[in-house]
Structure 1
Amino acid sequence: MKTPPPANRIAERKLRDKQTRRAQIITAARQIAEIEGWSNVTVRRLADEISYSQPVLYAHFENREGILAAVAIEGFQELGLALEKARKRVKRGSTVESVAAAYLEFAASSPAMYEAMFSLTLTVPFDNAATPPELRFAFSQFLELFQGQSLKPEVLSELFWANLHGIAELTRTKRFPPSRQKERVRTLVDLFTLPR
């Protein structure tokens, strides 16, 4: 196997270093948000946290919103993987129920991430040509649940997602008592899996 020319190795190393710094910025933003909330995630604070200058952060992200959008996109990838795993691991029982439980577990276990994905005002596009693949991947896990239904899978997926999001938010803000969570999920699943 030939060794790449030195210029290629240098370019590859620079790219790896850039990807590593970008990942450090995103990780630091997530950690600060989980402990202190998104209002404490500032470019200055991130620069201090990871020991880089603010210009280095601006070389990776145009502004604070760019960092938050990157966190949200990473969250959709993680959510998609969790839903895919839940969808594929079901041997007996309901795949729809397994996905619902995985969704609610993700929302409960990563509240700051979930907030970045759904509650912060970001310009991450949904359902158009510019939608990042991570968002499409997460949504495709819902679509898989409703293929072959008499209603449009896209509409059923959107409605199922909207219901899960509502349950997640109302549970997080303590409007829904946790004691009825399993019953809520079972009833929701029944509504979406009844023969049509």
Structure 2
Amino acid sequence: MSVKERKERERAERHRLIIEAARELAEAEGWDAVTTRRLADRVEYSQPVLYSHFNGKDAIVAAVAIEGIGELAVELRRARTSRRAPKAALRALADAYLGFARNRPALYEAMFVRPTDIPFGTADSPAALREAFGEFLAVLEPVARDRDPETLAEVFWSALHGLAVLTRADRLRTSHHKARLDLLIDSLG
């Protein structure tokens, strides 16, 4: 292995450590606790080293978000392909999305709640985001009929996001979770 390859591998490892530390700290204490100083202490590198990888906290949060969106895409694909019937696939995808949001609240916040400069819905969107949205399209195409699949996917995603955020904030009756999802799935299928 050349010196250049070794340095690139070490840089990639530092990059991964910074993202991992940010995720862990955010899940434990919230995003307000994530500072470059605390991250530098956690990964045992100086703040200038952190800044050689990221332009600041917002860039770190964006990297965490993109990584999380990639993980969500995998879970959505697994859920969608686990069911053959269109309505069952819709429900499985919805359950996977809401479970992801519930089980990884700080990660979900980085992905879809905190302000970010990640381009959504454009040709410049990261591949992970296009893949996740592609899972929404794939599950909705069989039930789209004469509706635009992309708009339908945006509406379905928006509804799931609203349910995720309102549930986390204890704004919805927990006893009606299944009824809300049934209503959403029935309105699409």
TM-score bracket, shorter-length normalisation: over 0.9
Which protein shows a greater Rg?
1
Which residue identity does 1:49 align to in structure 2? R
Match of 2:148 in 1: 152
- Counterpart among 78, 81, 102 of residue 71 in structure 2: 78
Match of 2:40 in 1: 47
Q: Share of identical aligned residues, percent?
A: 46
Structure 2 gap segments, 5+ residues each: none
Which residue identity does 1:15 align to in structure 2? E
Q: How many residues align?
A: 186
Matched, 1:179 2:175: yes
- Cα deviation code 1:132-164 (max 9, x no counterpart): 111111100000012252211101100000000
CA distance in 1, matches of 2:137, 2:4: 40
TM-score w.r.t. length of structure 1:
0.91
- Counterpart among 165, 172, 178 of residue 169 in structure 1: 165
Matched, 1:190 2:186: yes
- Cα deviation code 1:42-96 (max 9, x no counterpart): 1111000111001111111111111010011111101111100000112566100
- Counterpart among 17, 21, 24 of residue 24 in structure 1: 17
- Cα deviation code 1:99-118 (max 9, x no counterpart): 00000000000000011111
- Counterpart among 77, 101, 109 of residue 103 in structure 2: 109
CA distance in 2, matches of 1:18, 1:144: 37
CA distance in 2, matches of 1:50, 1:34: 16
Match of 1:120 in 2: 114
- Give the secondary structure class of the aligned counterpart of 1:94: helix
CA distance in 1, matches of 2:92, 2:3: 46
Which residue identity does 2:182 align to in structure 1? R
- Give the secondary structure class of the aligned counterpart of 2:121: coil
CA distance in 2, matches of 1:146, 1:107: 20
Structure 1 residue 10 displacement after superposition: 2.1
The 4+ residue runs of structure 1 with deviation greater than 4 A are none
CA distance in 1, matches of 2:131, 2:29: 30
